[in-house]
């Protein structure tokens, strides 16, 4: 059973649909016991860093997420769901993230000819041995929608990067915690393979 954390994020259903397409059992829930008993947990997210943290606090999910991570359940943050795993974001000064991983969420620098938000397909440079990317070739294209990006403190956490105006840490892995800045659920067959790899960890 893969639990998708329900905190009123916009892309819950598309993540659920992708998992069901793969034949996985998936549930959208904010119930503490269901989340703690799940085999895997996904935190999707689109929108504003501050709003996301407010809703996680409102639904008393912050402590639940920490418990899930502490009990070593595989945990995947997608897009904004990855960003809130870190300490803070330029998007909302003074709002604390979950601080499960160390790093800064910065605004993508303006660059002539590039639009922000970054919406589109970019290729990944993948680190050898990355668990989410088993069977996926270098420079595979995935779909991004974001104005802010991760600069991780620990380079060992970073398993995939891309370039859009600047070098972007596009994916992280540490122990049982995983993150994708891009949307695997919107990245075609390759994105489905990434979700399948997560489901089979």
20: tokens are: 């069901």
69: tokens are: 């991570």
Pairing status of strand 88-89 against strand 125-126: unpaired
User: Is residue 74 a contact partner of residue 198, using CB atoms and an 8 Å limit?
Assistant: yes
User: Is residue 47 a contact partner of residue 117, using CB atoms and an 8 Å limit?
Assistant: no
92 is a catalytic site residue: no
User: Is residue 42 a contact partner of residue 201, using CB atoms and an 8 Å limit?
Assistant: no
183 is a catalytic site residue: yes
Residue found by looking up tokens 């938000």 in the block: 117
Give the Cβ contact number of residue 172 at 10 Å. 26
In this structure, what are the phi and psi dihedrals at residue 118, rounded to the nearest 5 degrees? -75, 110
185 is a catalytic site residue: yes
Nearest to 175 by CA among 131, 134, 124: 131
How many residues in total does the chain contain? 201
Of 79, 91, 118, 146, the active-site residue reads 79
Pairing status of strand 118-123 against strand 141-146: antiparallel
Q: Which residues form the catalytic set? A: 79, 183, 185
């Amino acid at each position: 059973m893969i639990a998708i954390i329900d905190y009123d994020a916009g892309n819950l259903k598309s993540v659920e649909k992708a998992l069901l397409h793969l034949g996985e059992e998936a549930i959208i829930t904010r119930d503490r016991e269901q989340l703690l008993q799940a085999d895997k947990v996904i935190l999707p997210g689109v929108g504003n860093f501050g709003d996301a943290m407010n809703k996680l606090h409102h639904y008393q999910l912050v402590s639940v997420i920490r418990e899930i991570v502490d009990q070593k359940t595989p945990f995947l943050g997608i897009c904004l769901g990855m960003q809130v795993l870190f300490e803070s974001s330029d998007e909302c000064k003074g709002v604390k993230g979950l601080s499960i991983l160390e790093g800064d969420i910065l605004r993508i620098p303006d660059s002539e000819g590039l639009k922000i938000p970054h919406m589109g397909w970019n290729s990944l440079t993948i680190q050898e041995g990355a668990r989410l990317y088993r069977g996926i070739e270098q420079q595979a294209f995935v779909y991004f929608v974001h104005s802010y990006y991760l600069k991780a403190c620990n380079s060992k956490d970073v398993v995939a990067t891309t370039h859009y105006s600047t070098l972007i840490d596009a994916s992280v892995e540490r122990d049982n915690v995983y993150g994708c800045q891009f949307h695997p659920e919107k990245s075609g067959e390759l994105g489905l393979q990434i979700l399948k790899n997560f489901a089979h960890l």
